[in-house]
Amino acid sequence: MTESLFFFFASLTLLCAVMVVIAKNPVYSVIFLILTFFTISAHYILLNAQFLAAVNIIVYAGAIMVLFLFVLMFINTGKNVQGTVKGSIISKIAGAVAGGLLFVVVVAALKDVTLGHPDPATYNSQVGMVENLGKVLFTKYMLPFQLVAVLFLVSMVGAVMIGKREAGEQNF
């Protein structure tokens, strides 16, 4: 059951991810990207990591992708967006070569990766539950967690500084 579900979601994820790249209309790309996040969340649920699944939806599908769509709508407003992806044959060849090289790098990097094989006797299937995740974050990984929080604070302050209206600028 779980295995067939995994293959179903894996193929769906790949299909959506490919559609993100080949869709001509950027709004379709964003919608397929949202679908990709959903199928990735389905993988998290299969791995018993419900918290990650929910947070993935909230943060990526619920907030970041809305902003993507927001920007795209502003850019494309009123225009016929069909065929915005154009390019000469040279840029297509260059793109194919660059993509192929990236693929080679990924394959080379993954070649020597050993997948973890947890011991079924000692493995705790509840490790992805929100209580356990919180405990681990606030004990074992306390320092990285706090550092990430500081990083977020810095980026928030930066965003506020950029978005702040200068004195004398028109207010709406």
Partner 1 sequence: MDSVLLIYKGIYILAIFGISLLIATYSTYFERKIAAFIQDRVGPNRAGPFGLLQPLADAGKLFFKEEFIPARANKVLFILGPGIAMLVAAMSSAVIPFGDTLILGETTFDLIAIDVNIGVLYIFGVVSLGVYGLMIGGWASNNKFSLLGAIRAASQNISYELAMGLSLIAVLMLSGSLSLKVIAEQQAGFNWNIWYQPLGFLIFLICAFAETNRTPFDLPESEAELIGGYHTEYSSMKLGMYLFAEYINIFVASAVMATLYFGAYNFPFMENLRNAFDDPVLGNNVVTILGVGVMFAKIFAFIFFFMWVRWTLPRFRYDQLMKLGWNILIPLAILNILLTGGGILLYDYFTKG
DSSP string, 44-99: HHHTT-HHHHHHHIIIIIIIIHHHHHHHHHHHHTTS--TT-----HHHHHHHHHHH
3-state secondary structure at position 46: helix
DSSP state of 125: G
Stretch that binds partner 1, among 8-16, 46-54, 85-93, 107-115 (CB under 8 A): 46-54
Cβ atoms within 10 A of the Cβ of 152, count? 10
Angle at 129 between CA 61 and CA 46, to 5 degrees: 60
Pattern 81-120, partner 1, x by CB under 8 A? ----------------------------------------
**Residue with Cβ nearer partner 1 (6 or 51):** 51
Interface with partner 1, residue 139, by CB under 8 A: no
Interface with partner 1, residue 55, by CB under 8 A: yes
- The least CB distance from residue 22 to partner 1, in Å, is 16
How many residues of this chain interact with partner 1, rule: CB under 8 A?
26
Query: Can you tell me the distance from the alpha carbon of 154 to that of 97, in angstroms, rounded to the nearest whole number?
Result: 38
* Nearest to 33, CA basis, from 7, 68, 6: 68
Interface with partner 1, residue 68, by CB under 8 A: no
Stretch that binds partner 1, among 48-56, 88-96, 101-109, 148-156 (CB under 8 A): 48-56
Binding site for partner 1 (CB under 8 A): 25, 27, 31, 34, 50-51, 54-55, 57-58, 61-63, 66-67, 69-70, 73-74, 77-78, 80, 129-130, 171-172
